[in-house]
Amino acid sequence: MVPPTPVTDGGGSPGGDDPVVAAVFDAVAATAPEVRAALPGRRVESGTENASGESVLAGDLYADELLGDAITAIDGVGSFVSEERETAVDAGGSVGGGAGEGADGPPYAVAIDPLDGSSNLRSNNAMGTVVGVYDTPLPATGRDLVAAGYVLYGPITTMVVADEAGVREEVIERDGDGGVERSVVDDDLRLPNDPLVYGFGGRVPDWPDAFTAYAREIEDELKLRYGGAMVGDVNQVLTYGGVFAYPALESAPEGKLRLSFEANPIAYIVERAGGAATDGERDILDVEPEGVHDRVPLYVGTEELVERLKAALD
């Protein structure tokens, strides 16, 4: 296949006119090749557990530290919250951003999942980094997001960024000077009309009956594509159309994915691309968290498929 023609070369700043949002995604793009390059030697357990009780790999810690340093250094970022950190890091943030509030607005809170799908590190499958930029300290709902994005470390490194203007996809490569070259390959990413793929997490016997019945219908209509990294699985849905779910389980009604670092940013991106996202009852972006590490069931993708899911779970 002929590679897509770059729309622009050498950067560009997602985040519309907001310099703080643009700086966050500049930092994420700049660190992406470093994260990627560091992975081969960091496929082992670090010996620690994170706030969600999951064992942390050396790659998780490395990405967290690199991204934490880069993001907290940005003027206008007030706090930094990570899947790998118990509590928020105070980042100062003297210059305000705040949607529509200009330079006097509140500093932003940036939430990240430094390595999403890191259990794929041992088996060398896709992984990502997820980023949400909120205009209020966390915990907050996804309605407070002003931008969200993810990096996908696949055969190539791509970054998808959404803000109020829409969704764009860039290819990220190292340039010859130790920096990065960013090529926009789609400046108006939209979910295709005819859905093709689905991927559902969790063990099938652990699925509630209503979800199993929905899955049986979807299996008849779409192709199974499940890779075990939310970013990779959602990127397939954005590319081909379809539905991704990490559902409520009999053993874990709150599902597996984290609202602040995973579900909200992904919901924001997919909704800006013309799709839908729900926890089964309400729009993900309306879910009220109690803490930054709260989990939530996530069903996301082509609007018609998500509406059918909601009806099936009703």
Ligand X SMILES: O=P(O)(O)OC[C@H]1O[C@](O)(COP(=O)(O)O)[C@@H](O)[C@@H]1O
Binding residues for Mg ion, rule: CB under 5 A, are 83, 113, 115-116, 262
Six-digit token pair at 232?
Answer: 């990779």
Annotate each residue in 191-220 with x if it binds ligand X (CB under 6 A) or - if it does not, as one string: ----------x-------------------
Q: Which of 168, 182, 256, 293 binds ligand X (CB under 6 A)?
A: 256
Q: Is 32 in the site for ligand X (CB under 6 A)?
A: no
Residue number with CB closer to ligand X (145 or 234): 234
CB of 95 to Mg ion, least distance (A): 29
CB of 116 to ligand X, least distance (A): 4
Q: Is 246 in the site for ligand X (CB under 6 A)?
A: yes
Residue number with CB closer to ligand X (137 or 228): 228
With contacts defined by CB under 6 A, how many residues of the chain interact with ligand X? 13
Residue number with CB closer to ligand X (4 or 40): 40
Residue number with CB closer to Mg ion (110 or 222): 110
The reply to whether 113 sits in an annotated binding site is yes
Annotate each residue in 61-100 with x if it binds ligand X (CB under 6 A) or - if it does not, as one string: ----------------------x-----------------
CB of 244 to ligand X, least distance (A): 8
In angstroms, rounded to a whole number, what is the distance separating the alpha carbons of residues 250 and 253? 6
| Dihedral class, residue 178 (left if φ above 0, else alpha if ψ from -120 to 50, else beta) | left
Six-digit token pair at 29?
Answer: 């793009």
Footprint (CB under 6 A) of ligand X, residues 103-122: 113, 116-119
CB of 217 to Mg ion, least distance (A): 27
Six-digit token pair at 1?
Answer: 């296949």
CB of 142 to ligand X, least distance (A): 18
The reply to whether 83 sits in an annotated binding site is yes
The reply to whether 118 sits in an annotated binding site is yes
The reply to whether 69 sits in an annotated binding site is no
Six-digit token pair at 301?
Answer: 């993708």
Q: Is 272 in the site for ligand X (CB under 6 A)?
A: no
The reply to whether 82 sits in an annotated binding site is no
The reply to whether 116 sits in an annotated binding site is yes
The reply to whether 274 sits in an annotated binding site is no
The reply to whether 303 sits in an annotated binding site is no
CA distances from 95 to 71, 102, 104, 123, 197 (A): 14, 9, 7, 43, 43
Q: Is 230 in the site for ligand X (CB under 6 A)?
A: yes
Q: Which residues are annotated as a binding site for substrate?
A: 116-119, 226, 256
Give contact residues for ligand X (rule: CB under 6 A). Answer: 54, 83, 113, 116-119, 201, 228-230, 246, 256
